[in-house]
Amino acid sequence: MASDSLRADSAMVLLWSSEATNTIVTVGGKFPCRAAVYKGIVHAAIYDAVVGIEGGYEPYTSHAAAPAGASADAATAQAAHDVLAVLFPAQQARLDGVLATSLALVSDGEAETRGREFGKFVALDILALRANDNLEIDPPYIPGIGPGAWVPGPSPVGVGLGTARPLALLSGDQFRPNGPPALDSRQYATDLAETRRVGALNSTGRKAKQTEAALFYVEHAVPQFTRALGRLAVETNLTRLQTARMLALTALASGDACIACFDAKYHYSFWRPITAIRNGSFAPDPAWSPLIATPNHPSYPSAHACFTGAVTASLEAFFGEDQASFSVDSGSSGGTHSFDRFRALTREVGNARVWGGIHFRTDDEDGAAIGRNVANWLEQHFLRCIDGRCSAGESTRPR
């Protein structure tokens, strides 16, 4: 990521944040919510590499003390590289090249050597913490039957993700919601009617701006939000430590929100709108199709809403307010959307999933609530200030 306004001290953190997304998504091919957990692991390492040298906040996990005079940039590059190289061994050679290129930006000498040494220790500790975390375990899925049961396509996605060891939560079901509305409830009837009307491929009740928004968020969420958060760090002139902490908070929260989301998804296994509208008891329409392709996992709750709710709540906590000026661009539809509040992004993503015909309103509302709950938990228990250098609004460690 290059910019004339990019702070020299935050450049390495942003470089390896982008490279993590490239490794995990572009080359690694991980679907959004599993990718979010991998991003959380890498950003925990980046954050601990920086905070272990610069201090001021709690580390994500404990490490041996950093050598005096160690380069935080060298530690960042080494820690991120080593974690990614172990998690994605087929990309070792390419990652070695990225490491060499990034270390060329660091002055040679004892500071670089000590920084790389510390980065290696951080990576080993983070990887040990994630050993046997069940992140890639997907048991066979046994479909339910009858009204309300999700009908999967071949190879359902993320069947076991909800059982993976969380990054910060106590368990994947810690914030499990109460479940989707009963099929005979007024809420379900309202949700169904809305998605049927505005989410259809050929809907006449959906405005052009709503269609554009639905297509805007078809892009994989991790690269889309990596770019947005990188721009936000640059535009708000964050230091290296602030950038590492902001990206760690959002990555850890969104990763755990995804684990919590998939716990709920496969606990309730609620059908998607395409099945409910084509085969349900409310005026079935076998010809109905959604505007955008339906993901191959259950409808309730919305994964994108879980992810986005976690990111935006973490940003509110980090900056100490919901007032903000930031933007998100789209690789799926082109263009850029600008916002003046973090929660406005959460609302737009929730709306977009309904306008796209792949979710019910309650899926999005309960998903966003999961994200907020996870972010709040993380703020209260992890990466807290320890020596009074916190920015206004940031959480402090109890004395």
Handedness of CA 101, 106, 111, 115 (dihedral sign): negative
Q: Which 8-state DSSP code applies to residue 319?
A: H
Checking if the pLDDT of 397 tops 80, the result is no
Could you read off the pLDDT of 70-116 as tens digits, one per residue?
999 999 999 999 999 999 999 999 999 999 999 999 999 999 999 99
AA identity, residue 36: A
Q: Average pLDDT, whole number, for the chain?
A: 94
Residue 263 has pLDDT above 80, yes or no: yes
Summarised one tens digit per residue, pLDDT across range 14-42 is 999 999 999 999 999 999 999 999 999 99
DSSP letter assigned to residue 326? E
Question: Where in the chain are the domains?
Answer: 8-381
Q: What is the pLDDT of residues 333-345, one digit of tens each?
A: 999 999 999 999 9
- Cα 221 versus chain centre, distance: 7
How far apart CA 63 and CA 98 sit, in angstroms, is: 25
- Rounded to 10 degrees, the C-alpha dihedral 287/153/28/353 comes to 40
278-302 tens-digit pLDDT: 999 889 999 999 999 999 999 999 9
Q: What are phi and psi of 156, to 5 degrees?
A: -55, 145
pLDDT classification of 389: cutoffs 50, 70, 90: low
- Could you tell me which of 103, 93, 96, 84 has the C-alpha nearest to residue 44? 84
Residue 183's Cα: distance from chain center in Å? 31
Straight-line distance from the first to the last Cα atom of the chain, in angstroms, rounded to the nearest whole number: 39
3-state secondary structure 190-217: HHHHHHHHHCECCCCCCCHHHHHHHHHC
Write the CATH number of the domain with boundaries 8-381.
Answer: 1.10.606.20
Enter the tokens of residue 200.
């259809």
Q: Both tokens of residue 52?
A: 């272990």
Contacts with 176 (C-beta within 8 Å, 6 or more apart), sequence order: 260, 263, 264, 267
